[in-house]
Amino acid sequence: MPNPFENIEHIVVLMMENRSFDNMLGWQFGLSPENFNRNLDGRKVYVWPRPDDPPGNDMTIPDPDPGELFTDMNYQLFGKINPEPEDEPNMSGFLKNYAAKAQVTGVLNTPNDIMHCYQPEQLPATSLLATAFGISDRWHASAPCQTWPNRLFAACATADGYVNNLPVPPEHPRDVLKRLPFKMPTIFNQFREHLFQFDKGWRIYFHDISVNFMLSKLWEHLDHFHFYERFQEDVCGGHLQSYTFIEPRYFVDLSKRLMPNDSHPPYNVHLGEELIADVYNTLRSNEAVWEKTLLVVTYDEHGGCYDSYTGNLHPGSALSPEKNPVAKPNQYDFIFNRFGVRVPTLLISPYIQKSSIHRAPEESTYPFDHTTIIKSVKECFSLDFDQLTERDGHAPSLANVLSDTIVNPGPKKIEVPTLEVSDEMLAQAASAPLSDFQRLLQIAASILPEKAQIEARLAALSDDDTRIEMPLGKTPEEALTFIKDKVGAFIQR
């Protein structure tokens, strides 16, 4: 039987931030205009804009950022904070949760914005690539958790009991700040251990900081981390590695007049479209590379944005990563036995049929999620390891989405207009309060040792020895300055 991955020599993953499937692809793929949530006063609010409305200029909503804590997500999915084990998500609480957040924080919002779904014309890269290649409408975040846990699942097939980006509630006995960096094995390490003798086979490209810096088992392999500008050089020069992971820009950079391009609310999603187009165009520019590549564009989690219930689209049961999950201390005693909300996922390759929709094979117990990436990399490159956790061991791979011959070379280039970044946009982004995720990234940077001290730091790692140099940055600009200094000393490049 032929290997479905036999024609693929490069898997490239671009992971964006905090959008649900319906928020980005709903109107293009069957979202019903009759879908609604009820507001705090019981009034129905339908998904909007209506399909026949002209595209608007609403590229930065929801603003402010919706709730993303584990309790917020329970509220969004179940309509209550503490669901019973037998409860099934009814996706009824997005609007009430967003409205309630404004009452608690005192930060005004427009609750109806949480029901907003972008029209295809507003997302030129996403909508075109979805039509030119394929999508999955059953790709779920690995857990109903924030950014960091889901990005950990993409690298390690576990969040190691970590439910929120920061330790909430703070009195929890297992203070996650004392657990940094994380010590779990990763899919990246498997290349050296099981295939490439000289530590080749993967690279991580980032813009300002990589979340993967928090994985201590990668600290001895910092030569695999590169700023995003290197990606184009590597592709054009024929140096693209077997597995490539790309992270977007998380902060505003005033000195370079650059805005975040991660699509995280409330940053302008058009900038994310520009990044998606650039990744595709870079790969497509080298025909020899392109004909051997599978590109996956996905999002870490839904970020509080609305997603459907109709048609059994809600998150289902998942397999706990640990064989004995109740023996492991986890925040909220959650054992990671539920998937998160569906996230937009583009599947792009000359071996993927045009306008195709993909789901896990019928024989699979579980849908696609971020551990599908790990399973696919393992199968594609014949990495001979049993599994990282129970989760990737039972995840479906992307083998069933690929044809055995080139069926779709795709457009040679996609054109996305460049958004002019005005002084006003820069000033507003630079003075905005730090998001929870941006505060987390400062903490992430604060524990990075200087490159010369990495070996000693690794030798001293234990569960309770982390010394946090608490950052002082109060604004995104101050935070980025701090991060640049720490990352520069860490990678010394």
Question: What pLDDT, in 10s, does the model give residues 204-241?
Answer: 999 999 999 999 999 999 999 999 999 999 999 999 99
Express each pLDDT in 81-116 by its tens digit: 889 888 999 999 999 999 998 877 767 688 899 999
Q: Mean pLDDT lowest for which of 65-74, 121-130, 131-140?
A: 65-74
Express each pLDDT in 265-297 by its tens digit: 999 999 999 999 999 999 999 999 999 999 999
Quote the domain boundaries for residue 229: 10-491
pLDDT of 427 above 60: yes
* pLDDT interval class at 469 (50, 70, 90): low
* Residue 268, in any domain of the structure: yes
Q: What is the pLDDT of residue 169?
A: 47
Residue 279: its H or E element: helix 269-284
Mean pLDDT of 285-311: 95
Question: Domain tally for the chain?
Answer: 1
Helix boundaries (H) for 432-475: 436-446, 454-459
Q: Mean pLDDT lowest for which of 389-393, 409-413, 432-436, 449-453?
A: 432-436
* Residue 396, in any domain of the structure: yes
Higher pLDDT, 450 or 328: 450
> CA-CA distance, 347 to 341, in Å (whole number)?
18
Q: What is the pLDDT of residue 323?
A: 82
* Residue 487, in any domain of the structure: yes
> CA-CA distance, 334 to 321, in Å (whole number)?
12
Own/partner long-range contacts of 476-480 (Cβ < 8 Å, ≥24 apart): 476/251, 476/252, 476/429, 476/430, 476/432, 476/434, 476/438, 477/252, 477/254, 477/430, 479/251, 479/434, 479/438, 479/439, 479/441, 479/442, 480/208, 480/251, 480/252, 480/253
| Contacts of residue 157, Cβ cutoff 8 Å, sequence gap at least 6 | 187, 321, 371, 374, 387, 388, 389, 391, 392, 395
Amino acid at 397: S
Q: What is the pLDDT of residue 409?
A: 95
Average pLDDT, the chain: 90
Return the CATH number at 329: 3.40.720.10
- The answer to whether residues 97 and 75 touch, using CB atoms and an 8 Å cutoff, is yes
* Residue 335, in any domain of the structure: yes
pLDDT of 370 above 80: yes
The pTM is what? 0.95
* Residue 367, in any domain of the structure: yes
Residue 36, classed as helix, strand or coil, is strand
Mean pLDDT of 343-369: 97
Express each pLDDT in 156-208 by its tens digit: 999 988 888 765 444 443 454 556 889 999 999 999 777 655 557 999 999 99
Q: Structure tokens of 335?
A: 């054992």
Rg (CA), the chain: 21
Phi, psi of 98 (to 5 degrees): -70, -40
Q: Structure tokens of 317?
A: 């049961």
> CA-CA distance, 177 to 175, in Å (whole number)?
6
> CA-CA distance, 101 to 275, in Å (whole number)?
31
Express each pLDDT in 373-388 by its tens digit: 999 999 999 998 999 9
Q: What is the pLDDT of residue 374?
A: 98
pLDDT of 347 above 90: yes
* Residue 5, in any domain of the structure: no
Sequence-ordered strand ranges (E) for 165-301: 202-206, 225-227, 243-246, 293-299
Amino acid at 68: E
- What is the 8-class DSSP label of residue 53? S
Closest CA to 487 of 153, 206, 193: 206
* Whole-number percent of the chain with pLDDT over 90: 72
* pLDDT interval class at 474 (50, 70, 90): confident
Place of tokens 């657990």: 179
DSSP per residue, 134-177: EEESSEE-SSSS-HHHHHHHHHHS--TT--SSS-SSTT-SS-GG
Q: What is the pLDDT of residue 277?
A: 98
**Other Cβ atoms within 10 Å of 356 Cβ, number:** 17
Q: What is the pLDDT of residue 429?
A: 87
Higher pLDDT, 314 or 48: 48
Helix boundaries (H) for 305-447: 371-380, 390-393, 423-431, 436-446
Half-sphere exposure (CA, 13 Å, Cβ side) for 14? 29
> CA-CA distance, 410 to 377, in Å (whole number)?
23
* Residue 4, in any domain of the structure: no
Express each pLDDT in 6-17 by its tens digit: 999 999 999 999
Q: Mean pLDDT lowest for which of 95-104, 127-136, 147-156, 350-359?
A: 95-104
